[in-house]
Amino acid sequence: MIVFAPNWLGDAVMALPAIDDVRRHAPGASISVAARPSIAPLFSLVPGIRDVVVVDRRGAAWREGVRQLREGSFDAALLLPNSLQSALTAWRAGIPERWGYRAQGRAALLTRAVRAPAARGHQALYYQRLTEALGFAPGPLEPRLDAPADARRAAADLLASAGWNGRSPLVALAPGAAYGGAKRWPAESFAALATALASDDVVSVLVGGAADAAAGTDVMGMGIFLREAPGRNMPVPINLIGRTDLQTLAGVLAQCRALVSNDSGAMHFGAALGVPLVAIFGPTNERETRPIGRLEPVVLSHDVWCRPCMLRECPLTHRCMRGVTVDTVLSATRRAS
C-alpha cells in the first residue's frame, strides 16, 4: 500500500495517527508514502514506513513520480489529500485500489469514495475518520515523532557553530507561518520575548523553513539592541531559519526547553516530538488545528468578535494577535519549560 501524504507539514503531522492506524491494522503489510519534496523527509522519522516516493505537482517531476509509483506495483493507495490531482496521480500510476474522501469531483477516479463527515472537527480526527470508514480501527489521536541520535548530534554541531556554548538553556521561537501574515504574532513581540528570556540567561533559537526567512530577519532586526546593550552580557538569539532540514530541526527542538510558535507546521512538528509548546492562535480555529502531542500544549488567543476569520491578511488592526501580550507568552513559556 502507498499513502499519499497531505501537502503541508502541519497537515502531514496531523495525519500520522491515521497512518499509524493503517500500519497497526496490517502489521505485516509494506507501507510506503508518496509526498511532495518538502514533506518527504518527515517520514524518515516515522517508524514502519518502507520508503518514500517523491511526487511533485507538475511537469517532468510529476511524470517521474508517476513512473516510480507504477514501478512500485502498489496494490492500493490511500489518498489523504482531497485534491483531484492526488487521485489522478494514483490512477495514472495504475494503482488498482484508490481510496479517499469524495471531494473535488474525483469520485470517478476512486474505487472507494468515502463521504466526508458533516462536522469536520479536528484535522487529525478528519483523517482518522477516513481510515476508520475504510475498516481500520482508530487508535490514539496523538502524532508521535522521535529525534534520532544522529539528528541530535548534527543539531548540537549546528548550534555550536552558531555560537551556543552548550550549557545555556534553549527556547525555540517559530515566528513564521505559511498561510499568511495574519497568523503571525508581531515581530516586535517575538523580539521582546527573546529579550525577556535572555534576561533569564535563556538563548532563543529562531526556527523555520526558507519561506520564513523574512519573519526571522524582522525579529532579529527588532532585537538588534540585544547585541549592543553595554554591560548587560545577555545571550544573543540564534537564527537557524532556513538552515535546517526536518531531521536537524527535530534534533534542535529536542534540545530546547520549550517552543513558542504561531499556528504553523513547526508547531505541530514540535508537539509530535514532545517539546513543551506554547501556541499562539489568531485568525485560525484552534478547535480544528490545535496541536496534539504527548505533552499538553498551552494554546493562547485573544478573543475578538472577528476571529476566527481564516483570512491570510488582516484588513483591520490584527487585534487577535496583537492582543496576546508578551507577558502572557513569557509566563506560559516559563511554566512550560
Express each pLDDT in 208-242 by its tens digit.
999 999 999 999 988 665 555 555 677 889 999 99
pLDDT of residue 236: 86
Find the helix or strand (DSSP H, E) in which 97 lies.
Answer: strand 97-101
pLDDT of residue 123: 96
What's the mean pLDDT in 246-267?
Answer: 97
Task: Provide the pLDDT confidence category of residue 271 given band limits of 50, 70 and 90.
Answer: very high
- Please report the domains of the chain, with CATH numbers, ordered by start residue: 2-133 (3.40.50.2000), 151-336 (3.40.50.2000)
pLDDT of residue 176: 93
What's the mean pLDDT in 18-43?
Answer: 90
Task: Provide the pLDDT confidence category of residue 47 given band limits of 50, 70 and 90.
Answer: confident
Please check the confidence at residue 29 and state whether its pLDDT lies above 90: no
pLDDT of residue 178: 84
Express each pLDDT in 133-171 by its tens digit.
999 999 999 999 999 999 999 999 999 999 999 999 999
